[in-house]
Structure 1
């Protein structure tokens, strides 16, 4: 397999075969992100991707059960090309159970329902979507390139198509000023389509990103650990997503909050209340501001 640059994947794809289908991100303007800065986005030719799948077949044999196709927003590829790649992967690996990609709402929503059904039938199991927020003010400030209405539209189409949706909520991305509306409006948006997963990521400043510079200059203020936990509490209180799995599966988070809605709601809230009794200084060291 051939890789270009740093390859990123969600923690839940730790055991997946990684085959780059795209290089970089077609949007690449989010102020909080530095992952693909300096990388010109391009789509790899289908034959190159299929060649990498054949290399994996030689190396691993039949025993691949999950494949994740990075980089950012691989869903932007033409539907017919994705169908060809997914179908080819299923032919090569007889025990393949899951195919996943990154796809933000803006690019998912460009696909028709028929496109998404075709991708599902070709083998697409799950899309990892960095919603970050359901609040339009926050989305605009971080230059996400999407709106709450697009997030809802994309989520509804994916649910209709039968593709699992893993949504990412970025704790603290609105700062203290917008924390409450960030949580409440995000819950409102998520309730419209009920994703399969809601995964927490707590914002930490990353060098080589615009928001890092705003943080260093004092223009953007981080939430304290307790404020971050209170924001999560407010979100969970307002979620009406039967069957959704909520999880804190990332090192950025101050506390492990995991459960299925609605049955585990009270247990998660109690866990947060317990965490709020712990001194903030012991939850995690302060973020690094320079190297």
Structure 2
């Protein structure tokens, strides 16, 4: 039933995935190859309902449902409301419905519309921020400025829907590492999302970024430099609201988890310890 490839956030590992769209509505970020093989499509409501019925016949219970692909929130509000209503009708035991929402798709929705989606069962929106630095955002072709990311994040927070955001360590390369880390930390501070995931840049061959790396236009950070950048991001996050912090993706050199601001200094100490131990190992290797 799925149109592959299929992606979902790590936290949705045990969720039923319902593919209400195909691909990503933006699909222009220079580092991403996830949906390049797909033309963005919103499935007809009739087809979506049919698939929901099929899943009901297969699964006896589904308490968590994730709506794929890359930007299900872009679906027109009336259709999205019907999808949520039908899910609750067919899966009355469902306690959590989540989806990816691009900054633009969030901005297209009004506060009242988002509040209505929450009332109908939408629990959380996953939004990729990548960076808080405008030059980096422009370079990676994110399609929005940091001010728009801020407005989108604050709109979700105001609606009462939980907000989970991701940023990418190393996405600014060597040239913008300081600006990227400082401005990303400041943007996270101003949004104060419920969840923050830090990924490390992974190089995909079939991307524009890969071409820039091959030509020498973009300089990739080393593992040590990525850790220092994550530390700098943490040092620039100042928020009173609780943020669940995770840096435990497969792309990360060092696995980190905690709550901000409570655990910020401990997380920084863990990075410092890793940097110190790595320096020692490197020195031993050089001596050998």
Moved over 3 A (4+): 280-283
- CA shift digits 1:1-48 (9 cap, x unpaired): x11120111111100101111111111110000011132111001111
Residues 73 and 104 of structure 1 are in contact (CA less than 8 Å); yes or no, is this contact kept in structure 2?
Answer: yes
Spell out the pairing of 1:188-227 with structure 2 (5 A cutoff): 188-227=186-225
Name 2:39's counterpart in structure 1: 40
Point out where structure 2 has 5 or more consecutive residues left out of the alignment: 283-288
TM-score (norm 2): 0.94
TM-score (norm 1): 0.93
Higher deviation after alignment, 209-218 or 139-148:
209-218
Aligned equivalents of 2:127 and 2:21: distance in 1?
16
Given candidates 64, 69, 72, the residue that maps to 2:70 is 72
Given candidates 233, 236, 239, the residue that maps to 1:238 is 236
Secondary structure in structure 2 of the residue aligned to 1:143: coil
Point out where structure 1 has 5 or more consecutive residues left out of the alignment: 284-291
Name 1:248's counterpart in structure 2: 247
Aligned equivalents of 2:63 and 2:37: distance in 1?
33
Residues 27 and 35 of structure 2 are in contact (CA less than 8 Å); yes or no, is this contact kept in structure 1?
Answer: yes
1:266 corresponds to 2:265: yes
Given candidates 177, 180, 193, the residue that maps to 2:178 is 180
Aligned equivalents of 1:278 and 1:251: distance in 2?
21
Instruction: Tell me the C-alpha RMSD between the 2 structures.
Output: 1.5
Name 2:117's counterpart in structure 1: 119
Tell me the CA shift for residue 128 of structure 1. 0.8
Spell out the pairing of 1:274-289 with structure 2 (5 A cutoff): 274-279=273-278
Aligned equivalents of 2:7 and 2:205: distance in 1?
16
Secondary structure in structure 2 of the residue aligned to 1:223: coil
Aligned equivalents of 1:245 and 1:282: distance in 2?
31
- CA shift digits 1:223-275 (9 cap, x unpaired): 11111011111111111232001101310001011110111111101110011
Aligned equivalents of 1:96 and 1:117: distance in 2?
19
Higher deviation after alignment, 126-135 or 85-94:
85-94
